[in-house]
Amino acid sequence: MGLLTTAAFVSLAAWLWLTLAQGMFWRTDVRLPPRTAPAHWPSVAIVVPARDEAEVLPRSLPSLIAQDYPGEAEVILVDDGSRDGTAALALRLAREHPGLPLTVVSPGDPEPGWTGKLWALRHGIALARTAHATEPDFLLLTDADIAHEPDSLRELVCAATTAGLDLVSLMARLRVASMWERLVVPAFVYFFAQLYPFRRINRPTGRTAAAAGGCVLLRTEAAVRAGVPESIRQAVIDDVSLARAVQRSGGRIWLGLAERVDSVRPYPALKDLWRMVSRSAYAQLRHQPLLLAGTVAGLVLVYLVPPAALFAGLATGRPAAAWAGGLAWLLMAGTYLPMLRYYRQPAALAPLLPFTALLYLLMTVDSAFLHYRGRGAAWKGRTYARPSDA
């Protein structure tokens, strides 16, 4: 058996295992669990870290102020050193869209060892806990580019109180308008679910932990028990770190796909999506060259070998390689179809997943390259060192 045929069968075995034994990661029916309204609605503070978000704030902040929530709630926007008038715009939007009360604070530049977002969250959470006679029961941590339907907060709280959850997170539906967004964005969520299968995360005794930072409802007492955000202050991938901290401290976590929580941030060009992925991809690999090499090898074997084996096998008369490669590619495309349907994209994009995986491979390598040039984890004018160097 030649090298190509062997690689094709190994890839096929990998896809059989992923399809059948990786927590059914490819299914997109993990939505908010069954829920009922609580007898007493808990208080909630909505904390929004924002840095240079004037472009998206008019489409997101009014949706938070307009939350139809029966209990006590407020919005705290933390202006993280914006240079585009984010704070002033937020106050103007609050005047134009009456609803939940809005407070805008500016904590200044982050101290050494803190990422900007977590520094902003630290001050927003501290203000929420001290501004009133009693602490809020829950904190809704949501990004400035996330728009919520009017019942979003109510449904999140119902899910948390009904199931006794300490953290409920929804992966907001990202924008898919441009050609590159259609090609890259559904795959981004597909790859995330492959790494962190939602069903495993949601098991009461599960060890897999992850969250989606755009929308996280967190019990205040769970945040205190886990010591967040101080305990994860250096984390670039803060959502996964937050979920792990809550889980380690004994909290129950849940993650699923959103129906009516949407990201309004545009990524119209490939360079925009490239920047989104490359700024944190190497941090996901803990800045370890061996993990990078293993990831590259894995992406090649799992995503690139199947089409290569199919075409090369057909061209050179090796039916075993062609058969194994074609079946692996079919499994790959088949498991991708539910995510494409969730994003309302045509099934014709499914066979293109190997090309998208190649893009992600190059983005990951570029992320490592930027890190070693001192430009890794760069976002809106800031560059963060890896935790051991911070």
Q: Give residue 190's Cα distance to chain centre.
A: 11
Beta strands in the chain (DSSP E): 44-50, 73-79, 102-105, 138-142, 146-148, 167-173, 215-219, 253-263, 378-379, 382-383
- Contact in structure between 33 and 255 (CB atoms under 8 Å): no
Return d(Cα 98, Cα 109) in angstroms, integer. Answer: 30
Q: Give the per-residue pLDDT at 170.
A: 98
Q: Phi and psi for 150 in degrees, rounded to 5?
A: -55, -25
Instruction: Judge whether residue 385 has pLDDT over 80.
Output: no
Q: Is 254 helix (H, G, I), strand (E, B) or coil?
A: strand
Residue 356: enclosing H or E segment and its boundaries? helix 353-372
pLDDT digits (tens, 9 = 90+) for 126-174: 999 999 999 999 999 999 999 999 999 999 999 999 999 999 999 999 9
Rg (CA), the chain: 22
CB-CB contact of 159 with 33 (8 Å) = yes
DSSP 283-304: HHTTT-HHHHHHHHHHHIIIII
User: Which amino acid, one-letter code, is at 205?
Assistant: T
Per residue in 304-356, pLDDT (tens digit) is 999 999 999 999 999 999 999 999 999 999 999 999 999 999 999 999 999 99
- The label of the residue with tokens 């007492």 reads 221
Is 103's pLDDT higher than 50?
A: yes
> Percent of the chain at pLDDT above 90?
89
| Pair 264, 350: CB distance under 8 Å | no
Residue 116 phi, psi dihedral angles, 5° rounding: -60, -40
Instruction: Residue 230: count other Cβ atoms within 10 Å of its Cβ.
Output: 12
For the stretch 6-23, pLDDT in tens is 999 999 999 999 999 999
**Are the CB atoms for 184 and 356 separated by under 8 Å?**
yes
Residue 388 is predicted with a pLDDT of 47
Beta strand 73-79 with 146-148: parallel, antiparallel or unpaired? unpaired
Rounded (5°) CA angle 275-279-281:
115
